A and B are shown apart, each in its own frame.
Chain A
Amino acid sequence: MSALAVREELTFTELKALFDVSDGNLSAHARKLEEAKYLTCAKSFESRRPKTSYRLTTLGRNALNRYLDHVEAVIKATRRG
C-alpha cells in the first residue's frame, strides 16, 4: 500500500520485484486488501500477455494515513514517556 501511495498504478510483476515476495504471498495480500476495498485490481492483456494492475483506493489511502498517524503517535508517546 505504501508503494501504491506514491505510484498511480503498479503491476503484479512490479510489486513482486519491489518486495521480493512469491506469487502466492503477493496474491494473498492483494486479495485481502482488495476485499477490504483498499485496492482495485484491473486485469488486461499487453502483447497477448495477461497483466494485473493495482491501484490504491481513497478508502485505502485514508486507512494508510490513519495507520501512519497511529504509528507516529506511538513513537511520540513512547519518546515522551
Chain B
Amino acid sequence: MSPSNLVEIDSHAAETLQYIRSSMDAATAIRVHGAAGVSMGLIGLAAMALSVIPRLAAHWLGIWLSSAVIAGVIGGALVVRPASINRLALSGTPIRKFAICLAAPLFVGAVLTAVLIMHGALDVIPGTWLLLYGSALFAASVMTTRTIGAMGISFMILGLFTFLLPMNIQILALGVGFGGLHLIFGWWISRESHERQV
C-alpha cells in the first residue's frame, strides 16, 4: 500500500470521528439535576428568612449577595455533563455554549448591581436581579430543556412586577423567585427525569 493511500485512510477515519463528535455535540442537551434547583431554592428561602429579621434587615444586600455565591457554587457543581462514551470525549462545546449563554446576563447583572449600589438605587436591585437571572436561564435553555426556559420566563415576569413593589415587599419577591421558583422547578425537573427513567 502506498503512503498516499495511508494518508487517505487516516483522513477518512479522522473525518468520521469528527462527524461522530459533532453529531454528539448537536444532540447533547445539558442535563440539570432537579437537586440543583431544590438546593438553590432552599438557600434562597434561607436568605429571605434572614433578611426579614428586623435586626438583619439592613444587611439584606450582603445576605443575598452571599447566598448568590453559595447557590452559584452548588448549582454549578450539580449541572452534570452527560457521560461521553468510551474514550471519545465530548469536545465540550455544549457545556461551553451553556456557560456562555448564562454568563452574559449574569455579568451584566453583576456590573449593574455595582453601579446601582454606587448610585444608591437599591430599590431597583431585586427587580434587576430577577429579570437578568431569568434572561440568563432563558438564554441557556437553548442548551437544556424547555423547563429551564419556562423557569427563566417566570423569573423575568416576577422581575418586572418586582419593580412596581415597595422595597420591603421586593425582598419577599426575591424569596418567591430565588426560593420558591427554584424549589418548584427543581421538583418539576426531578419529576420529569424520574418519569423518563420509568
| Chain B associates with chain A | yes
**A: which residues have CB within 8 A of B?**
2-10, 18-19, 61, 64-65, 68-69, 71-72, 74-75, 78-79, 81
Stretch from B34-42, B86-94, B125-133 at the A interface: B86-94
A75 touches B28 (CB 8 A): no
The distance from the CB of B198 to the nearest CB of chain A, in whole angstroms, is 12
The distance from the CB of B110 to the nearest CB of chain A, in whole angstroms, is 32
Q: How far is the CA of A19 from the CA of B16 in the complex (A)?
A: 15
The distance from the CB of A80 to the nearest CB of chain B, in whole angstroms, is 10
A78 touches B9 (CB 8 A): yes
B23 touches A2 (CB 8 A): yes
B27 touches A74 (CB 8 A): no
- For chain B, the count of residues having a C-beta within 8 Å of the partner chain is 26
**B: which residues have CB within 8 A of A?**
3, 6-7, 9-10, 13-14, 16-17, 19-21, 23-24, 26-29, 82, 84-88, 90, 196
B26 touches A18 (CB 8 A): yes
A64 touches B29 (CB 8 A): no
Known: A72-B17, A75-B14. A65 touches B85 (CB 8 A): yes
Q: Which residues of A contact B196 (CB under 8 A)?
A: 8-9
Enumerate 14 A-B pairs (CB-CB under 8 Å) in ascending A order.
A2-B21, A2-B27, A3-B26, A3-B27, A6-B28, A7-B27, A7-B29, A19-B23, A61-B85, A65-B85, A71-B17, A78-B6, A78-B7, A81-B3
B86 touches A3 (CB 8 A): no
Q: Which residues of B contact A3 (CB under 8 A)?
A: 23-24, 26-27
The distance from the CB of B25 to the nearest CB of chain A, in whole angstroms, is 8
Known: A3-B27, A6-B24, A6-B28. A64 touches B13 (CB 8 A): no
Dominant secondary structure of chain A at its interface with chain B = helix
B85 touches A5 (CB 8 A): yes
Choose from A2, A6, A64, A79 the contact partner of B82 (Cβ within 8 Å): A6
The distance from the CB of A29 to the nearest CB of chain B, in whole angstroms, is 13
> Across the two chains, which residue of chain A brings its CB closest to B85?
A5
Choose from B9, B14, B23, B86 the contact partner of A65 (Cβ within 8 Å): B86
Q: How far is the CA of A75 from the CA of B9 in the complex (A)?
A: 8
Q: How far is the CA of A3 from the CA of B19 in the complex (A)?
A: 11
The distance from the CB of B163 to the nearest CB of chain A, in whole angstroms, is 37
B28 touches A68 (CB 8 A): no
A6 touches B9 (CB 8 A): no
Q: Please give 11 more A-B residue pairs, beta carbons under 8 A apart, in addition to A3-B23, A3-B26.
A: A2-B24, A2-B27, A3-B27, A4-B27, A6-B27, A6-B84, A6-B90, A10-B27, A68-B17, A75-B10, A75-B13
